[in-house]
Structure 1
């Protein structure tokens, strides 16, 4: 916590380095945690700026990572990573922002649980899209930029919509990939829609590999009997096992599921691979405890995914779930057990609205958005409802890629969005 009257600018720092021919600048800013002028708590926010040779005067493109709870990708060479970066660097200097609570932006970890639960819940309530947008604005002002551009992947696209709702004057063009969130809909609607899509993708998988349906049903029986234990000590519950369906939401995740189900369940290989493939239990706890809040546009979530669990999934244990979170994991997943009280209170949080449809319609937003026809995490029908509020953002609908199309296409999806925004392709 900063003392009253502290000069935040004195805490800001920028350093430079080289990664091959890439010029990298690393920026750390100290920013207010809240919008309350009487609240002197601060956090650090980290961003890395990548510039190609000769690109020193190019405009900025801010990349907002998916999540919540994931830091920005770390650039590397041979090949250049992230895979879309080369395309972006042709026309922009790329800012990769570690969203508050992740990476080097005052990350949230188990140590915060030393504080009373109410304090932890209050602190985490400031780590949503609204706080991330305030941090981005602080960076923009620090760099002396009047307008810049955004690339929002998944949750980063949700954050982009809030940016357009509140600070559209700061934005030139916006590009979204699997990130057109539903507006003015309860979380229950979104999760129900996603269950339907997971049922479809489950059936698609079993039509391709019919031998795996009975194998998975057998694994569910083992989970119900408490017979699957991970190296972490977690006794895998049925709901955790079925959450492997999140793999069916990416271009090549089905292959990981295939290889797992080829292994004997009583082997070390199976247990280790299963531990690595299950979502939510590793790395940043924000991904679990704040996940449903990502869909909370002015509502209380109250374990929405659990409350709308379909009868079809109860009847057929071969069906897999996706990015659906369950309360029972606070009892069965060792890494989440310490977060139980926090998760329970966050589930009852009356979240403020994030999106303003009227503001979006008057934002004069331009750019392009990739909408994946088979997306199991961000449903196409709700995405198109949202797209209607920003008609200047061209929509690219494709069934060629799943939710991770930005990364999986090695820049192809991003180039298509650039071409659409430039008028070189038709929507």
Structure 2
């Protein structure tokens, strides 16, 4: 039974759908997939068009609205919105170290998680569309970041369900391997580091001091995790958002306190670092981060810890070497490394499972370039200039490969523009889709 709630300016309704784990075996094991319907107050009974939101990730649950906040402020003017907790996340049947342990050993867990990529998410969405709207009614879909990757898969395998498509920071390279992705990503991360240090030159020495301390003596985080120098460098994930550089600077400001034996890393700093580097709230982000790029026709070798292998081609990220030479210590970006499954308590039980997924070579293709070339669904996309997470060149090449896709290339916003722009990014895309911009 659906449950309705009221928050300032909105009415939300809970939906839980029982769906196949494996869509090729619809009568087999079933999982729950949760979605929250959101509509503007006093419009509950209106016959509004539906807008499905596909969250970034992988492994990210949809946002929890407290009212007409963020991009919902604009969306609710025109749409009834469905916020999907993609399989394995949020209130959908969860997939984490606790629940996966019930499935058996690492091989059983890996086989299970192999069904949690974009193709399965899209097929979930199509079953939900039919149950909510009926077979013949289409909906609009908004995909942010990985949600945009999913939307490209949607256009490839089930475009008949789509009325229009909005993509923000999520035009993936259709034929890019994981190695291609990271080979293009590391130089972008270098630029983000340079921009951060130009903005906060005092952070060069602050970061070197912390890094030197961690090389000599890794710290223990409040959850028992191990803060190595490599884990500290992973804070660079913050540099891809509009306010990330400033937030990182403020975190570094409170790194030290004077303890009984002299200077030591503060509890405030360690708690702040843990909030950024722990995967306890979203372990699928780590476990599936490289498998989302797996396509057998693109790379028959699988992903094989691509970010770790490709990193060796960029020695500037070697923190001990930077300390020895006097160079700035560089933060890394949106990369997942095998050592994370040793340092993070929420990931340690999934280490062997992640190894099996990294070794997997039979990933199905996620995109159909031939079908995208004859696309008839209106598609508009925001491409953020020098996006740290998604390569701009890949995005523009994909835009040219999808018939009728229109892009808006902007440097006004970073990758999180949809969330932080107060509806401006979505408003521009809606105007483009309607021929008003």
- TM-score, normalised via structure 2 length: 0.90
- Tell me the alpha carbon deviations over residues 275-328 of structure 1, each in whole angstroms, 9 at most, x when there is no partner: 1122x5331211101011122233411000010011222254511111111111
Residues 12-411 of structure 1 mapped to structure 2, 5 A cutoff: 13-37=1-25, 40-52=28-40, 53-54=42-43, 56-77=46-67, 80-81=68-69, 83-111=70-98, 112-114=100-102, 115-145=104-134, 146-265=137-256, 266-278=265-277, 281-298=279-296, 299=299, 300-309=302-311, 310-314=314-318, 315-316=321-322, 318-350=329-361, 351-411=363-423
* Alignment length (residue pairs): 409
Superposed CA offset, 1:142-190 (max 9, x none): 0134211100000100000000000011111000000101111111111
* Residue 429 of structure 2 corresponds to residue 417 of structure 1: yes
- The offset of 1:62, in angstroms, is 0.2
CA distance in 2, matches of 1:384, 1:308: 23
Gaps of 5+ in 2: 257-264, 323-327
Secondary structure class of the residue paired with 2:419: helix
Give the 3 Å change call, closer, same or farther, for CA 201–20 of structure 1 in structure 2.
closer
- Measured in 2, the distance between the counterparts of 1:21 and 1:186 equals 44
- 1:260–1:273 CA contact under 8 A, matched in 2: yes
Instruction: Classify the secondary structure of the residue corresponding to 1:23.
Output: strand
Q: What residue number does 2:325 align with?
A: none
1:92–1:348 distance in 2 versus 1, CA, 3 Å: same
Contact 1:393-1:421 within 8 A present in 2 as well: no
Residue number in structure 2 paired with 1:7: none
Residues 216 and 261 in structure 1, CA contact (< 8 A), matched pair in contact too: yes
Which stretch of structure 1 is more off in the superposition, 305-314 or 169-178? Answer: 305-314
Runs of at least 5 residues in structure 1 that lack an aligned partner in the other structure: 1-12
Q: CA deviation at 1:374?
A: 2.0
The alignment partner of 2:3 has SS state of strand
Q: Shift of the alpha carbon at 1:226?
A: 2.5
Bigger Cα displacement from structure 2, 242-251 vs 389-398: 389-398
Structure 1 stretch 14-23 or stretch 117-126: which is displaced more? Answer: 14-23
Report the Cα distance in structure 2 between the residues aligned to 1:97 and 1:143, rounded to whole angstroms.
Answer: 13
Residue 262 of structure 2 is matched in structure 1 by: none
TM-score (normalised: structure 1)? 0.92
Distance 1:23 1:342, change over 3 A: same
| Equivalent residue, structure 1, for 2:261 | none
Report how far residue 39 of structure 1 moved.
5.7
Conserved 8 A contact 1:239-1:326? no
Runs of 4+ displaced beyond 4 Å? none
Whole-Å Cα distance in 2 between the matches of residues 398 and 36 of structure 1? 40
Give the Cα–Cα distance (whole angstroms) in 2 for the partners of residues 389 and 198 of structure 1: 26
Q: CA deviation at 1:203?
A: 0.6
Alpha-carbon distance between aligned partners in 1 of 2:175 and 2:218, rounded to the nearest angstrom? 43
Aligned-partner Cα distance in 2 for 1:264–1:133: 43
In structure 2, distance between residues paired with 1:183 and 1:220:
38
2:383 touches 2:410 (CA, 8 Å); kept in 1?
yes
